[in-house]
Structure 1
Amino acid sequence: MAAISGETLLRLAVAAAAALLLLLAPALADSDADRAAELLSLQSRSKSGVIHLDDHSISRFLTSTKTPRSYSLLIFFDATQLHDKPELHLQDLRREFSLVASSFVANNADDSSSRSKLFFCDLEFKESQSSFAQFGVNSLPHIRLVGPEVKSLKDSEQMDQGDFSRMAESMGEFIESRTRLRIGPITRPPMLSKTQITIIVALVLIWLPFAAKKVLAGETLLHDKNVWLISAVFVYFFSVAGTMHNIIRKMPMFLVDRNDPSKLVFFYQGSGMQLGAEGFAVGFLYTIVGLLLALMTHLLVRVRSVNVQRLIMGSALLVSFWAVKKVVYLDNWKTGYGIHGFWPSSWN
């Protein structure tokens, strides 16, 4: 049997290596596409369009892949044990994040290329502590955008805390400005279902004849002056207590003291934040002054005894002075700005 020369062996080895590379090339080329297809599958199985990740998923879709990837991941960092902290608004932000995800999927239902370029995901702290450390996340709420070119997770782009103010709309604007993808209008679920609306309409139709009879007879609550009086006081208190601010900003009524979790903080020192309890306390003081002024101008004038008038008026003025002084003190304590009274120069 003739011996095979070294040169011939070398040529055979090179040919075998080339053939192996040709066989593996399609598999290597499809690896990124396979990951994108897997993400699309996970997205379709999620009701909200948010994919739940863990340490293994982060490795599969991010850290073990080569850049550039064909997709970006927007990740919401969550911690179940912090859901009872109202000041973090984690559950509210998570719902808004889901709204953006579902709106993106719905608005791009006919554009598979856009849907495969951005995926909404969430990470839970207890399940993915290693991933939290890789991202360098040490406070919540936190949202990160991992673009196709990002190699180190710490280099991914963080959504600014101020962008959470307008909830889903702010998140959508952040995504569109960074990815050039279209989120589209945010679709929010209706407050009432069709069944509930049908029941309410039926009850209203049944109630209308009885209501019409009451209106014609002048026996409704709208004909009662006491209802209008109470409503006016309520609107006044609602206005001066900053209730609309608390609703829009979703401010908590109180906070838990960081130094002593067993204590509650009802007044927050600092002009950048106002708790609900603060507004109600100041609104209550303002309402006292308003009610006393109404008492003196509308009811006290009907009292015949001058001595009784003087006694009640003096007491009302003292209480009003105390209430206003308390408001001024709280404002000075909270903001650091002082309010000073000045005597007319002619009195000096």
Structure 2
Amino acid sequence: MAISLKSYHMILFTAIFTVLISIATSNSQTDLVSELLSLQSQSTSGIIHLNDHLISRFLTSTKTPRPYSILIFFDAQQLHSKPELHLQDLRNEFSILASSFITNNPSDHGKLFFCDLEFKESQSSFGMFGVNSLPHIRLVGPDAKSLKDDSIQMDQGDFSRMAESMADFVQSRTKLIVGPIHRPPLLSKKQLGLIVLIFLIWLPFVIKKIIAGETLLHDRKIWLLGSVFVYFFSVSGAMHNIIRKMPMFLADRNDPNKLIFFYQGSGMQLGAEGFAIGSLYTIVGLLLALVTNVLVKVKNVTAQRVVMTFALLVSFWAVRKVIYLDNWKTGYGVHGYWPSSW
């Protein structure tokens, strides 16, 4: 009977101890969530700025499973000057994703926290994650023990659609619904109201000018300049540069003081080389317009011949330069063709 009573006391003690440990662990995890929510509320964008100490506090020193997941944007201030990385643009899109998730999920935003990590401040954390290139986004799930092996890296191709592709990544990996992306308006209500007020004040004067035919839209020179601009914009690859956010030039890796304006290789086009080729095309187009619309009205035959010769020589030089640059960049040659018989 004594042994049975002793065993009963032991079982009771073990049960109480287990319950106390469970309560303590639960309270500890609740405290971590509360601390993360407090840090989140202090950020205007909803992104928590982490460092080595906070990584240890919320990830490496906590037991799994954690009651939350953490999505981390790895950043480096010294690389913001490199436009080809688009770190600032991606950081802004990450901020939009975070604020959208918090707005759309008031009851569930404690299950996923959006954080960033800066290289200079947290080099050891970068090493624990195994991050050696940017841009980089990584999801640390509730069951992740090893930051390098158990966390999930977002593929580089998923950055193409910015916040929308980031939301798809989150939803596919966490089973949480991000909801619609809320982008800030281009103009605030005050700015929009001021623009409307100025437009209403200016409207009577505009109507008067239109009726009198004295606006810029009635000036042929404006239309001429506009046509030349549209032509140059079309042939210089400006739209490509805007969409791909291509830099005008690059610094030479071998000599940082030297700038590269023409990049050899068909996989990339810098803004400067597009504008150079566009200028050559525009010169040929303007000379053709001069010959067909202005020169035909000149009565002096000698002047016509001189201008025509000049236009042909400059056009030949411009076209030859375009062909040479295309051959240098792509390796493809353009050869003249003469028919065997007429």
* The two structures share one fold, judged by TM-score above 0.5: yes
Secondary structure of residue in 2 paired with 1:122: strand
Deviation at 1:130, TM superposition (A): 0.3
Deviation at 1:253, TM superposition (A): 1.4
Secondary structure of residue in 2 paired with 1:120: strand
Matches within 5 A, 1:174-185: 174-185=169-180
Question: Whole-Å Cα distance in 2 between the matches of residues 67 and 127 of structure 1?
Answer: 26
Deviation at 1:127, TM superposition (A): 0.8
1:67 matched to 2:68? The reply is no
Secondary structure of residue in 1 paired with 2:99: helix
Partner of 1:189: 184
Paired AA for residue 184 in structure 1: G
Question: Whole-Å Cα distance in 1 between the matches of residues 313 and 165 of structure 2?
Answer: 49
Matches within 5 A, 1:276-315: 276-315=271-310
Question: Whole-Å Cα distance in 2 between the matches of residues 151 and 24 of structure 1?
Answer: 21
Identify if the C-alpha distance between structure 1 residues 251 and 307 changes in structure 2 by more than 3 Å, giving closer, same or farther.
same
Deviations 1:66-85 (A, max 9, x none): 33333221111111122222
Question: Whole-Å Cα distance in 1 between the matches of residues 321 and 144 of structure 2?
Answer: 55
Equivalent of residue 117 in structure 2, options 112, 123, 129: 123
Question: Whole-Å Cα distance in 1 between the matches of residues 270 and 30 of structure 2?
Answer: 50
Partner of 1:163: 158
Partner of 1:91: 88
Question: Whole-Å Cα distance in 2 between the matches of residues 102 and 262 of structure 1?
Answer: 41
Question: Whole-Å Cα distance in 1 between the matches of residues 193 and 300 of structure 2?
Answer: 60
Question: Whole-Å Cα distance in 1 between the matches of residues 102 and 78 of structure 2?
Answer: 29
Equivalent of residue 338 in structure 2, options 316, 321, 343: 343
Question: Whole-Å Cα distance in 2 between the matches of residues 191 and 58 of structure 1?
Answer: 36
Equivalent of residue 54 in structure 1, options 29, 37, 51: 51
Matches within 5 A, 1:89-238: 89-109=86-106, 112-113=107-108, 115-155=109-149, 156-238=151-233
Secondary structure of residue in 1 paired with 2:223: helix
Partner of 1:264: 259
Paired AA for residue 31 in structure 1: S
Question: Whole-Å Cα distance in 2 between the matches of residues 165 and 258 of structure 1?
Answer: 27
1:81 matched to 2:78? The reply is yes
Deviation at 1:297, TM superposition (A): 0.6
**Given the two structures, how large is their TM-score scaled by the length of structure 2?**
0.92
Deviations 1:54-112 (A, max 9, x none): 11111122222233333221111111122222222211111111011111111112xx2
Partner of 1:42: 39
Deviations 1:202-255 (A, max 9, x none): 111111111111111111111100100000000111111111111122222122
CA contact (8 A) 1:271 1:334 kept: yes
Identify if the C-alpha distance between structure 1 residues 29 and 142 changes in structure 2 by more than 3 Å, giving closer, same or farther.
same
Q: Percent identity?
A: 71
Deviation at 1:119, TM superposition (A): 1.3
Secondary structure of residue in 1 paired with 2:71: strand
